[in-house]
Amino acid sequence: MTHEYTAPGELGDPSVEAVEVPEPGAVTIVVPTFNESANVRQLLHQITESVPSRLPCEVVFVDDSSDDTPQVIKEAAQDCPFPVTVIHRDEPVGGLGGAVVEGMKAAGSDWIVVMDGDCQHPPSLVPELVATGERANAGLVVASRYIKGGSRAGLAGSYRVAVSRLATWLTKSLFPRRLHGISDPMSGFFAIRRSDITAEALKPLGYKILLELAVRSRPRRVTEVPFVFQERFAGESKSTAAEGRRFLRHLAGLRTADPLSRMVVFGLIGLTGFVPNLAALWAMTQAGLHYLPAEIVANQFGVAWNFLLIEKLLFRDRRQHRHWADRTIRFALLANADLVLRIPLIALLVGQFGLAVLPATALALVITFVLRFVGTEALVYLPRRRSGRRHGSRTARRAA
Tens of pLDDT along 356-369?
A: 877 887 788 788 88
Find out if CATH 3.90.550.10 is the number for domain 2-255: yes
Contact 235, 69 (CB under 8 A): no
C-alpha to C-alpha distance for 25 and 11, rounded to whole angstroms = 11
- Give domain limits for the chain: 2-255, 259-390
What confidence tens digit (pLDDT) does each residue in 260-298 have?
777 878 888 888 888 888 888 888 888 888 877 887 788
- Looking at per-residue pLDDT, the higher value among 217 and 34 belongs to 34
pLDDT above 70 coverage of the chain, percent:
79
Q: Is the peptide bond before 359 cis (omega within 30 degrees of 0)?
A: no
Phi-psi region of 89 (alpha: psi -120 to 50; beta: other; left: phi over 0): beta
Q: Which of 40-54, 147-161, 167-181, 303-317 comes out lowest in average pLDDT?
A: 147-161
Question: Which ranges constitute the DSSP H helices of the chain?
Answer: 14-19, 40-50, 69-77, 95-106, 126-136, 157-174, 209-216, 241-255, 259-272, 274-286, 291-309, 324-351, 357-375, 385-399
- Looking at per-residue pLDDT, the higher value among 156 and 325 belongs to 325
Query: Which pLDDT does position 19 carry in this prediction?
Result: 33
- Looking at per-residue pLDDT, the higher value among 218 and 166 belongs to 166
Distance of CA 176 to the CA centre of its chain: 17
Summarize the confidence of residues 362-387 as an average pLDDT.
78
1, pLDDT greater than 60:
no
Summarize the confidence of residues 3-14 as an average pLDDT.
50
Contact 31, 116 (CB under 8 A): yes
What is the DSSP code string of 317-376? GGGGGS-HHHHHHHHHHHHHHHHHHHHHHHHHHHHTT---HHHHHHHHHHHHHHHHHHHI
Rg (CA), the chain: 27
Query: Which pLDDT does position 272 carry in this prediction?
Result: 86
